[in-house]
A and B are shown apart, each in its own frame.
Chain A
Amino acid sequence: MTPLPLAPIVLTPLVVLALATVLTWVERRLLGLWQDRYGPNRVGPGGMFQAVADGIKLLFKQDWVPPFADRGVFVLAPAIGMMTVLLSFAVIPLAAGGIAGGLNVGLLFILAMMGLGVYAVVLAGWASDSKYALLGGMRAAAQMISYEVFMALSLLGVVMVAGSFSLRDIVAAQSGLWFIIPQGLGFVVFLLAGIAETHRLPFDLPEGENELGAGFHTEYSGMKFGMFFIAEYAGIVLVSALATTLYLGGGNGLLLPAPVWFALKTGVIVAFFILLRAGLPRPRYDQLMGLGWKVLLPLSLLNVLATGTVMMLRAS
């Protein structure tokens, strides 16, 4: 039994929370940049402390639970959302292995946590006992469960090539060639599924503020809403870090140390996520489901088939 890695256990959640908070500001600035405006640039240098100001505002807001809501579940839902995302970070080999970067079922653990993350949204929608929240929760359930299928299938190619579920081994297997080259199709499918999984624009139908108010978190206020918010941004970081780990070679790179490379690659993918939000409109719900089942599912199955064929031909 190895001693518990105390420093990473304490630091990882703090760093992730801080990152997610700063990301709210980064996103608004980048959206501003791409829409020919400035975004928040008043609080602190370049508006950097906007996230802090927002946090203070959320903390001082009235924490109101609607009288018609199912109180216990209502309070539990944001906690689940936050917890699953934070737990997923345990197996990401952020720098020198993370907390449990070598866990031999690391990838399965992350998929399991993402599966549990659906509960946060569904329970929030259900416990709110409000039509918009319920519609949002319902959409979220269908969307996240179906996109989870392709996400897992698209990751299968990586697992087949690397021969391991451990994220550390997968990174090690990419020391020669990043998996984005042989698994390009899987990368695209994974990224699309990741957007849907974190219900980010353009796949933010569970929230859909123009039609559903705010979707599943319509009835949430104060720091409970803040937790959904931060969990969403932490989810973006998670998916980006996962994409970096699985397809872009993790911390592998020339000259610079591994953590810097990891942060750079993750940052590029996060920026791409924000670019998607700046550029694309939200599809209709049937288009979203159609894209999933009619395009992405066959594509990911094809990817698995092709990977398997190539591996068999190589072996023989």
Chain B
Amino acid sequence: MLDTLRTLLLTFLHGFHRRATVQYPEQQPYLPPRYRGRIILSRDPDGGERCVACNLCAVACPVDCISLQKTERDGRWYPDYFRINFSRCIFCGFCEEACPTYAIQLTPDFEMGEYARPNLVYEKEDLLISGTGKYPGYSFHHVAGVPIPGKDRGASEHERAPIDLHSLLP
């Protein structure tokens, strides 16, 4: 009997508490910087695409929502097309972890509502952003040993020139 009345009193007093609801469209929720939302493809500091179409993200993806095709241009690898089906994506971030070039990144944005399901399939032009994302100043081709036009083997940062085996012969 008394506990029932106490329950009622406590419930009534809750009328003077702060409400827990976040009035979402007007009041934006706080999203931490490492929030895993909409996926983007970032660019080099030079403005070139970072993605080298290695397919590691597509392999790492547990729901197979990434689909891409390699092509070669000016001696470098690029994705011919790069497609993410966001109606399948579970925003696990495995693609970002797998990416050797920091090209694919997750952003703190989840407002991707669509009326038609096909609109959730994002093409490369939808995914590419103009900046470098979370890793400013990082350029894969400047630190990796792979040769590209204008940069020979051994010309990367922190890389010594390859040893000429013939010079080691006795």
Interface residues of chain A, those whose CB is within 8 Å of chain B, are 32-38, 275-276, 278-280
- B21 close to A (CB within 8 Å): yes
List the A residue with the shortest CB-CB distance to B4: A280
- B161 close to A (CB within 8 Å): no
Residues of B within 8 A of A278 (CB): 11
Chain A contact residues: helix, strand, loop or mixed: helix
Contact at A275–B21, with CB atoms within 8 Å? no
Contact at B8–A38, with CB atoms within 8 Å? no
The number of inter-chain residue pairs (CB within 8 angstroms) is 34
Residues of B within 8 A of A38 (CB): 19, 21, 23
Residues of A within 8 A of B21 (CB): 36-38
Given contacts A34-B14, A36-B14, contact A279 B8 (CB under 8 A): yes
Residues of B within 8 A of A35 (CB): 14
Q: Which of A34, A276, A280 contacts B15 (CB 8 A)?
A: A34
B interface size (C-beta, 8 A)? 14
A127 CB to nearest chain B CB (Å): 36
* Distance, CA A194 to CA B52, complexed state (A): 74
Contact at A36–B18, with CB atoms within 8 Å? yes
Contact at B11–A36, with CB atoms within 8 Å? no
- B115 close to A (CB within 8 Å): no
List the B residue with the shortest CB-CB distance to A202: B4
Contact at A36–B19, with CB atoms within 8 Å? yes
B14 CB to nearest chain A CB (Å): 5
17 contacting pairs across A/B (C-beta < 8 A): A33-B15, A34-B14, A35-B14, A36-B14, A36-B18, A36-B19, A36-B20, A37-B19, A37-B21, A38-B19, A38-B21, A38-B23, A275-B12, A276-B8, A279-B7, A279-B11, A280-B7
* Distance, CA A32 to CA B14, complexed state (A): 10
Residues of A within 8 A of B10 (CB): 279
In this complex, which of A36, A279, A280 has the most chain B Cβ atoms within 10 angstroms of its Cβ? Answer: A279
B152 CB to nearest chain A CB (Å): 64
List the B residue with the shortest CB-CB distance to A37: B21
Taking A34-B12, A34-B14, A38-B23 as given, write out 11 further A-B residue pairs in contact, using a Cβ cutoff of 8 Å, ordered by the A residue number.
A34-B11, A34-B15, A35-B14, A36-B14, A36-B17, A36-B18, A36-B21, A275-B8, A275-B12, A279-B10, A280-B4
* Distance, CA A38 to CA B51, complexed state (A): 46
Residues of B within 8 A of A36 (CB): 14, 17-21
Name the interface residues of B7-34: CB closer than 8 Å to any CB of A.
7-8, 10-12, 14-15, 17-21, 23
* Distance, CA A278 to CA B4, complexed state (A): 12
List the A residue with the shortest CB-CB distance to B6: A279
Q: Which of B4, B7, B11, B20 contacts A37 (CB 8 A)?
A: B20
* Distance, CA A167 to CA B60, complexed state (A): 77
* Distance, CA A212 to CA B20, complexed state (A): 31
List the A residue with the shortest CB-CB distance to B16: A33
A36 CB to nearest chain B CB (Å): 5
Residues of B within 8 A of A34 (CB): 11-12, 14-15
List the B residue with the shortest CB-CB distance to A278: B11
Residues of A within 8 A of B18 (CB): 36
Residues of A within 8 A of B14 (CB): 33-36
* Distance, CA A296 to CA B4, complexed state (A): 16
* Distance, CA A279 to CA B13, complexed state (A): 11
* Distance, CA A35 to CA B10, complexed state (A): 11
* Distance, CA A34 to CA B10, complexed state (A): 9
Q: Nearest 8 A-B pairs (CB), nearest first?
A: A279-B11, A37-B21, A279-B8, A36-B20, A33-B15, A279-B7, A38-B21, A34-B14
List the B residue with the shortest CB-CB distance to A295: B1
List the A residue with the shortest CB-CB distance to B15: A33
* Distance, CA A46 to CA B166, complexed state (A): 85
Residues of A within 8 A of B8 (CB): 275-276, 279-280
